[in-house]
Structure 1
Amino acid sequence: MASIGFFEAFIAFLCFLIFSYFLIKKPFYYFLIKKTLQSYPWNWPVLGMFPGLLVRMNRIYDGVEVLENSNLTFPFKGPWFTEMDILVTVDPSNIRHIMSSNFSNYLKGPKFQEIFDVYGDGIMNVDAERWNELKKCYQAMVHRQGFQNFAINTTRNKLKDGLLPLFSRFAEEGTVFDLQDVFQRFMFDTTLVTVTGSDPQSLSIEMPEDEFMKALRDVEVTILYRHLIPRFIWKLQYRMGLGQEKKLREADATFERMSEKYISAKRNEIRKGFHHDHSDKNGEAEDVLTFFMKLDVTKYELLDPIDDRFLRDVILGFIVAGRDTIASSLTWFFWLLSENPRVVAKIHQEINTNLPRFVGSGLERPSHDPAELNKLVYLHGALLESMRLYPPIPFQRKSAIKPDFLPSGHKVDADSTIIIFLYAMGRMRAIWGEDAAEFKPERWVSETGGLRHESSYKFFSFNAGPRACLGKHISMIQLKTVVLEILQDYDIEVLKEQKIEPYPGVILRMKNGLNVTVKNRC
């Protein structure tokens, strides 16, 4: 980022404070400005469109009206001197251009890496040759049948030994609980076993506070915060250890300490020739840490050395990609089911028709073959439909290397920032039709009863192009496995009169959680 003078920074910040005063203290001004900005934000002198952003803070992910009125692409102007100008787009043709056609010109970039610096040099953050090496390495691991079996069996075991017994007790006692918190704990335990071979056992009747999980929450809030305020402000706060930046520094220290514990334990296991029995009959299955510690770096020269810092970034990246996205997807999915009993009935009908042997107690049923889940086309479509409306990662950020023109006609400057708003994209009538805001799993089912394919540049929840999600297949099996086991045995009832809304962050969570009760079906 180019340097700015102290005077210019001070003037911009002073204007921001003055406007905030009128916005917060004077109801008349707030009402007038809010009504004026509903369709298109004003570009104020000095402040740019930042006041409009403040007005929309409670629905930061949305922006449907603005994008519809701007033909799917909107140039946001930030305050002067702050380099906060952003091109926001949900246009599938632009996304194809950015993610595939001209992929080499659009990177995560140094601004992204600075904002997300706590995640280190894992595959989420890096670009160019290092990203390509990491991608090859991850592909080699994820595509191994042994690893897939291990990940799926870990999910099954946690269901059998953790989630379903907990639901049984909650049903017996009539307990009201936060389903979002339960899914986060379930996926945290599942992901940690998959990555390290160790179960933190955060999912239990006591619901213990886990410092790793708290650190993850603090980091998510801080990263969004960094997107919304001038860089010099959060940089100053970080140096001084103030506000949200102080929480991020504390979270980073927690990541270092906890990762070191898992890394040290794994090294001791390997050194002693003992590690948990994760092997399938071909001896191919290993947890993620074991895979990387035994990696032949001569095949991946840019990954040398595989040191503690590298392994820490691997652990953190897998937790964010595995725990957070799937827990978010499950939470929004079961809330949508509670709002659409017709969909629940159709899913039950499909399960009873295609997998009749699964009727009965979840603790006694035999494990099912993942291939059988392919018969559950409507369930698959319902999960995709849920992620269309409530994408686990609600926005993506890219940076241009050289000037360019997008298919929409918008000019892109070198080193400029582009944000793809997935949350708004799933609600755009120009993309999904007049019923875009409706939850309709049928839109994913073809006339012949098969799964309908939609372009990844239109349905962007699993990314697209060279950066497409490597774990999509495993993630969908995990989602269907969890949903199937729960729906077979339990009815989840969402408590009325609770406000359901997204919480600002890099993961689309529910702001107030999801309070529910469960009842046995049998």
Structure 2
Amino acid sequence: MEYFHYQYILLVPLLVYLYRLADRRGKKPPEPTDWPLIGMLPRVILNFHRVHDYITSVLTVCGGTYMFRGPCFFNIDMLFTSDPANIHHVFSRNFSNYPKGPEFRKIFDILGDGIFGADFELWEIHRKTTLAQLTHADFNAQLERAVWHKVETGLLPVLDHFCAEGKDLDLQDVFQRFTFDNICKIVLDYDPCSLCLDMPDLPCEKAFSVAAEPLLHRHVIPQRIWKLLRWLNVGSERKLLECSRAFSEFIYPRIVTGEEQKNEGSLLRAFEDVYKQKNMNGRSLRDFLKDTSLNLMFAGRDTTSTCLTWLFWLVARHPASERKILEEVEAELGKKKEWSAQESHKLVYLHGALCESLRLFPPVALEHKAPVRADNLPSGHHLPRDAKLIISFYSVGRMESVWGKDCLEFKPERWISGSGKIKHEASYKFPAFNAGPRTCLGKEMAFVQMKMVAAAIICDYQVQLVEGHPVSPRDSVILQAKHGLKVKLSRRNMCASLTHAF
């Protein structure tokens, strides 16, 4: 009898499991099943190869906010949301209660004390110093010179070469190299020339893309496990350590301080002055400048290159939009020998196309927050202190409740008002550049650079997608194309003199 008693005890978990399996009447597909002990992890693992689309599908059927529950023995429960009201509450109205926090800094420890992971006074220092430099009278002129120089010496020669050879080209790789060279010139006053005919393999340039995937995995893998992997130096954690080493080996030798710093108006000189004024002796000056440089390089490389990649994928699939961009460039800029940042504002339709690219494929796919004090969101969900809140920027742009029934369509016209001007949307509805006080400082710089590059390419070349090449979002914190963007180029007769005149 005792034997059967223990049998029944052992059957209890199985009976509960089968009950949960059978009782799905209140569950909306594709809402994950919350299994005993293991939580919702099985469904997440099955869909991790398409994690951003899976999150979107769950949020769509569950009203825009959903609690993910992990295994009961790990602390990885997190609330996901794409509700604009929640975003406005967290990023603006109750901003002080939602710093990046210690959990964010642990996950993104590779960024050190730069602006992305900084909170409170350190964040204020970064933001004010960066803003002062970006709004300096000479900055736009410096940016224009850097962009057009790279277009002439790097972008066009590479495109001409692949066009003449009839070879397939990974346009995403080209954009990443372009923006890497540009941001290095602006931040470090050094051009690594990664975009050239040889297309050299620079470990630091590639490390930005490599690091993005393990950083996403850290959101799901329990901290004790990924820390063990790091200690063992294996798997994704080994990749992150290699990326960190590549960043350090590239940046440290190019940090110039003190009397060696000749350019008084440079970004790093400004941060060096602030470091000394604020008596920031917690870390060495070189470490502080390295972290500052790395964060600015992350922002300058990935946002712009990712948006341009998806723009050209979308435009190649919508020939009517491509024609409108061509017509607008010719009508507004004609055969001018150079375009200023101010003149790029005339390209309204191109601006709308870029906004659509950012809406559908925001470069930063999600944001991680944790309240300092317990809080109630506008959606009615309660967040205990230090709870994990994941805001899916990718999902916001694909919500019918936010953008209407045509939310999945590429329509640059949705950004143009009846008077023919750019229609501005609230950042909590369009959070591609973050929202509230942490809104990206380089937003205008990114639009200027993207318009110059996009118009230059579209006017000179017809871009065709390579048939059969798969294009889908990568499972990482940066929403790159998983397999790149393979294209074939052919010369275009229109506007040929426009870009070569610089």
TM-score, scaled to structure 1: 0.86
SS of aligned partner of 1:397: strand
> Which residue number in structure 1 is paired with residue 183 of structure 2?
191
Identical amino acids, percent of aligned pairs: 40
Deviation at 1:485, TM superposition (A): 1.1
Output one character per residue of 1:118-137: Cα deviation in whole Å (capped at 9) or x when no partner. 11010000111211122111
> Which residue number in structure 2 is paired with residue 46 of structure 1?
37
> Which residue number in structure 2 is paired with residue 180 of structure 1?
172
> Which residue number in structure 1 is paired with residue 155 of structure 2?
163
2:124 aligned with 1:145, yes or no? no
Matches within 5 A, 1:271-282: 271=259, 274=262
SS of aligned partner of 1:107: coil
2:340 aligned with 1:369, yes or no? yes
Q: Mind listing any 5+ residue stretches in structure 1 that lack a counterpart?
A: 1-14, 20-32, 276-283, 359-365
SS of aligned partner of 1:291: helix
Q: Distance in 1 between matches of 2:68 and 2:299?
A: 29
> Which residue number in structure 2 is paired with residue 22 of structure 1?
none
> Which residue number in structure 1 is paired with residue 120 of structure 2?
128
Q: Distance in 2 between matches of 1:455 and 1:308?
A: 38
> Would the aligned equivalents of 2:275 and 2:285 in 1 still touch at CA under 8 Å?
no
Matches within 5 A, 1:282-431: 286-293=265-272, 295-297=273-275, 300-302=278-280, 307-358=285-336, 366-431=337-402
> Would the aligned equivalents of 1:37 and 1:52 in 2 still touch at CA under 8 Å?
no
> Which residue number in structure 1 is paired with residue 196 of structure 2?
204
> Which residue number in structure 2 is paired with residue 450 of structure 1?
421
> Which one of the candidate residues 484, 487, 490 is aligned to 1:519?
490
> Would the aligned equivalents of 1:193 and 1:287 in 2 still touch at CA under 8 Å?
no
Q: Mind listing any 5+ residue stretches in structure 2 that lack a counterpart?
A: 1-12, 18-23, 494-502
> Which one of the candidate residues 103, 107, 111 is aligned to 2:103?
111
Computed over aligned residues only, the root mean square deviation of the Cα atoms, in angstroms, reads 2.1
> Which one of the candidate residues 76, 79, 82 is aligned to 1:87?
79
Q: Distance in 2 between matches of 1:145 and 1:78?
A: 51
Stretch moving more, 324-333 or 207-216: 207-216
Deviation at 1:65, TM superposition (A): 2.4
> Which residue number in structure 2 is paired with residue 441 of structure 1?
412
SS of aligned partner of 1:61: helix
> Would the aligned equivalents of 1:147 and 1:287 in 2 still touch at CA under 8 Å?
no
> Would the aligned equivalents of 1:394 and 1:421 in 2 still touch at CA under 8 Å?
yes
> Would the aligned equivalents of 1:130 and 1:303 in 2 still touch at CA under 8 Å?
no
SS of aligned partner of 2:401: helix
Q: Distance in 2 between matches of 1:143 and 1:347?
A: 29
Q: Distance in 2 between matches of 1:303 and 1:344?
A: 53
Deviation at 1:348, TM superposition (A): 1.1
> Which residue number in structure 2 is paired with residue 486 of structure 1?
457
Q: Distance in 1 between matches of 2:137 and 2:64?
A: 41
CA 1:416–1:296: 2 relative to 1, 3 Å: closer
Output one character per residue of 1:151-181: Cα deviation in whole Å (capped at 9) or x when no partner. 2321111011110121122222212111111
> Which residue number in structure 1 is paired with residue 439 of structure 2?
468
SS of aligned partner of 1:510: coil
Amino acid at match of 1:54: I
2:230 aligned with 1:238, yes or no? yes
Amino acid at match of 1:482: V
SS of aligned partner of 2:390: strand
Amino acid at match of 1:116: F
CA 1:272–1:92: 2 relative to 1, 3 Å: closer
Output one character per residue of 1:354-382: Cα deviation in whole Å (capped at 9) or x when no partner. 11224xxxxxxx22122111111111011
Amino acid at match of 1:216: F
Q: Distance in 1 between matches of 2:160 and 2:87?
A: 45
Output one character per residue of 1:442-492: Cα deviation in whole Å (capped at 9) or x when no partner. 100111111111111000001111111111111111111111111121111
SS of aligned partner of 2:323: helix
> Would the aligned equivalents of 1:87 and 1:418 in 2 still touch at CA under 8 Å?
yes
Q: Distance in 2 between matches of 1:289 and 1:306?
A: 14
Q: Distance in 2 between matches of 1:299 and 1:136?
A: 14
Q: Distance in 2 between matches of 1:252 and 1:125?
A: 16
Deviation at 1:398, TM superposition (A): 0.6
> Which one of the candidate residues 67, 72, 75 is aligned to 2:59?
67
Output one character per residue of 1:21-77: Cα deviation in whole Å (capped at 9) or x when no partner. xxxxxxxxxxxx9xx984211111111111111121121012222112211111111
Q: Distance in 1 between matches of 2:400 and 2:262?
A: 56
Deviation at 1:145, TM superposition (A): 2.1
Deviation at 1:149, TM superposition (A): 2.1
Aligned residues: 470
Q: Distance in 2 between matches of 1:76 and 1:88?
A: 7
